[in-house]
Amino acid sequence: MKFVDEFREPGVIGKASAEIRRLADPARHYRFMEVCGGHTHAIYRFGLKDLLPSNIELVHGPGCPVCVLPMGRIDDGLSIAQDPNVIFTAFGDMMRVPGTHGSPLEHKARGMDVRIIYSPTDALKLAQKNPGRHVMFFAIGFETTAPSTALILMRAKELGLPNFSVFSNHVTIIPAIRAILDSPDMRIDAFIGPGHVSTVIGCRPYEWIAKNEGKPIVVSGFEPVDVLQSIVMLLQQLNAGEAKVENQYKRVVPWEGSRPALRAMADVFELRPYFEWRGMGFISQSALKIRDTYAQWDAEQRFQVPGVRVTDPKAAQCGEVLKGVLKPAQCKLFGTECTPERPVGALMVSSEGSCAAYFSYEHRKAAVLTSIGAPV
Amino acid sequence: MCLAIPAKVVELFPEEQNRALVEVVGVRRHIDTGLLADDPPNMGDWVLIHVGFAMSKISEEQALDQIQTLTMLGEQEAALEEVEGYGLGET
């Protein structure tokens, strides 16, 4: 239990925070991007920003699959389920994401057969139990989730299940990081790498970030101390003039990733030539399409979809926030027209979206401090 | 979305290679172990689960630490809701 106790120990957090202050050059401004939405959530949840010196800025990355899904894809998925014979299934995270004519939950209220599932296996089971209906799984997620979708497609094929399909919106993290590094208005000094995506892909796919771009990256766990320790490791690299891939989350992430998961993904999916990311535009080879060998279970091949590109509301500045150019509260709609209850932009929908995380924790904290007359 | 939940394997099914009964945040649920095909879990092993699939094996120490993370993140209720939703145990 020592390990756990160590993480609970506030003294360790204080030490990590002091070490960060010792290592950070006061003459320099550091911009570190946490790629994963889970880290964004943890950073706000624990108020980690308050433990850092003011010259270390944490920039929230694109690693929230709900947040980066363009509205046109939601419209396409919902259009398939206009057919009363179709059951639309998706994870709970998707249910409040607005499409042009409302979210999946709003469609459900209007009579569409929309069901929340917790595992892709549930969708498969639902199809087996309802042989007279068609069950479509609206799949989202990075490499953490894509192998599970791949496995159920393999099972559907083995079973020859005729009434099941997947609408794949799976995306891959590396091209998104590349797009951020290629963006002219983006200045990032180093990356806090995603934890659970890396259990699947391992650490090797990040090597180009260090070698070719000269940026340090540390794959990190989700505890406060994990994130702080990762920042210490990034500062040590920068101070030594190094750029390496390091694994802070060794207790969970193997350097080589998960071979069975990668095999399943390679068997079922191929890279799309390009895919639109909300707020970031089209990114080449950044998403997973179902291979032709599984065409019968690919909802996009099986059904006609409008395939219309829907632009986000102009006033919403999701793209700038997603790339870290703007802070959530600097968006014109933040907290007024766009709130977690009535999200306009995708970053306000998921608790891992930087706007929703900022709204829930920073906004509330400021309100509490104001109410007790404390300086904010 | 990408958070993983630690669970302890309490029953295996020789006739169904890819299924295991696990105990997770106090409830028992069936999960799919197909992604651990190269190194299938044994009774008493701890695994990290995500959307009903075991993603990796972890040590007990790691598992307890991970449970602590979920609690600290205030995610244990969401985790419980998620695992209670797995319909895998119904058949």
DSSP string, A316-367: --HHHHHTTSS-GGGSTTBTTTB-SSS-SSGGGTSTTSHHHHIIIIIIHHHH
Q: Where are the domains of chain A?
A: 30-314, 318-367
The answer to whether the CB of A17 falls within 8 A of the CB of A228 is yes
A91-128 CB burial, b ≥16 within 10 A, e <16: bebbbbbbbeeebbbbbbeeebbbebbbbbbbbbbbbe
Please give the order of strands across the beta sheet that includes A114-117. Answer: A114-117, A86-91, A134-141, A164-170
* pLDDT given for residue A371 in this prediction: 67
Rounded Cα–Cα distance for residues A126 and A315 (Å): 40
* Interface-testing mutation among A93, A119, A149, A229, with chain B (most B C-beta atoms within 10 A): A119
User: Tell me: the pLDDT tens digits for A2-58?
Assistant: 334 445 556 788 889 999 999 999 999 999 999 998 899 889 888 898 899 999 999
Mutant choice from B47, B51, B64, B90 vs A, greatest count of A C-beta within 10 A: B51
Task: Report yes or no: A235 and A255 within 8 Å, Cβ to Cβ.
Answer: no
B5: closest CA of chain A, how far (Å):
11
Say whether residue A117 is in contact with chain B using an 8 A CB cutoff: yes
Q: Tokens in use for A218?
A: 């540390």
The domain that holds B86 is classified in CATH as 2.30.30.140
| Interface confidence (ipTM) of the complex | 0.87
Number of domains in chain B: 1
Residues of B in Cβ contact (< 8 Å) with A91:
1, 51
* Closest Cα in chain B, distance from residue A101 (Å): 25
Report yes or no: A345 and A358 within 8 Å, Cβ to Cβ. Answer: no
Please compute the mean of the pLDDT values over residues A95-103 and round it to a whole number.
90
Report the CATH superfamily, name and number, of domain A30-314. HypD, alpha/beta domain 2 (3.40.50.11740)
User: What is the DSSP pairing of strand A56-63 with strand A30-36?
Assistant: parallel
Pairing of strands B5-12, B19-24: antiparallel
Secondary structure (3-state) at A206: helix
What residues in chain B have per-residue pLDDT under 50?
Answer: 89-91
Q: Which residue of A has its CA nearest to B19?
A: A121
* Beta-carbon separation of B86 and A119 below 8 A: yes
pLDDT in tens, A284-328: 999 999 999 999 999 999 999 888 888 877 788 887 887 778 888
Using the beta-carbon criterion (under 8 Å), do A197 and B87 form an inter-chain contact?
no
Length in residues, chain B: 91
Give Cα separations from A268 to A149, A291, A311, A334 (angstroms): 9, 6, 30, 40
Q: What kind and span of H or E run contains A282?
A: strand A281-284
Q: Would you call B68 and A8 a contact, using CB atoms and an 8 Å cutoff?
A: yes
Whether pLDDT at A214 is above 70: yes
- CB of A340 within 8 Å of any CB in chain B? no
> Do B3 and A40 form a contact (C-beta atoms < 8 A)?
no
The residue among A372 and A225 whose pLDDT is bigger is A225
Domain containing residue B84: 5-90
pLDDT digits over A227-256, tens only?
999 999 999 999 999 999 999 999 889 999
What sign has the CA pseudo-torsion A372, A373, A375, A376? Answer: positive
Predicted TM-score (pTM) of the model is 0.91
